[in-house]
Amino acid sequence: MTAYINSLDTGHTPFLEKLEQEAKAAHVPIIRREMQSFLKVFLAVQKPKRILEVGTAVGFSAILMAEYGVPEARITTIENYEKRFQVAEENFHRSGYEDRITFLKGDAAEVMKTLEGPYDLIFMDAAKGQYIHFLPEVLRLLRDGGVLISDNVLQDGDVIESRFAVERRNRTIHKRMREYLYTLKHHPNLLTSIIPLGDGITVSVKQEMPQKKVRQEQEV
Ligand code: SAH
Ligand code: MG
């Protein structure tokens, strides 16, 4: 299915195509084709102006969001792996979107504490085992009605396996990811859809006043 879907993909700007090739050749992780397509549609629907990305790598998805977001969109992106800083900076410069992208270097757990919201969209694409720890800051930074998109949440299906079927070194990530998905689905201020796109994504909308609660109050 994925191969077929991706065969219909019409691609992006030549710059993004080249960046994707370069990243792949250097074994730098970037969002998959299906996620690229999903993000483009999502940006056109929600039209977020303030975007926060956790996990820059070499800047591919940040540049994609600058390219396909509304012209007023500003993107803040966080990366902690020093070896990627210079390439990311060069890519932002080459892309021509340097003025729309703020690149912050450091551990997202620390950097997020220094940020002020509200953000319309937060794109979570960093170390999977840490998503659950980032969540309190994510919720603080997201506006009411804002959206959290998280990538790589189903680990190609591994997340539904029994913990004993998962390699020992992956068990902690597995456990934390299940906790993360459970929390996203049960949080009183989040409405979440888990979508088996790529190796799994979630889309969550923050609702200060959840629909259910509104309905109950109206019934009284
Ligand atoms: N969004 C990028 C790909 C990100 S890959 C794209 O599609 O182009 C995930 C990145 O998150 C890696 O570069 C990794 O170094 C970074 N990362 C992992 N944990 C992090 C943390 N705690 N803080 C900041 N960055 C982190
Ligand atoms: Mg990813």
Q: For residue range 55-70, what is the model confidence (pLDDT) as tens digits?
A: 999 999 999 999 999 9
What mean pLDDT is predicted for residues 190-196? 97
Would the CB of 48 count as within 6 Å of ligand 1? Answer: no
Tracing tokens 């790589």 back to the chain, one arrives at 152
Would the CB of 149 count as within 6 Å of ligand 1? Answer: no
Bridge-based pairing state of the strands 201-206 and 190-195: antiparallel
Domain enclosing residue 89, as ranges:
2-219
pLDDT value of position 51: 98
Query: Which atom of ligand 1 sits closest to the CA of residue 64?
Result: 8
203 by DSSP, 3-state: which? strand
Distance in Å, CA 55 to ligand 1 centroid = 3
Number of domains in the chain: 1
Query: Which atom of ligand 1 sits closest to the CA of residue 59?
Result: 8
Contact 117, 141 (CB under 8 A): yes
pLDDT value of position 219: 59
In this prediction the pTM is 0.94
Greatest extent of the chain over all pairs of C-alpha atoms, in Å: 61
pLDDT value of position 214: 60
Tracing tokens 């597995």 back to the chain, one arrives at 174
Output the domain CATH number for residue 38: 3.40.50.150
**pLDDT, tens digit, for every residue of 137-176?**
999 999 999 999 999 999 877 888 877 777 877 888 889 9
Would the CB of 79 count as within 6 Å of ligand 1? Answer: yes
Nearest Cα to 141, choosing from 153, 124, 128? 124
**Structure-model confidence comparison of residues 209 and 85, the more confident one:** 85
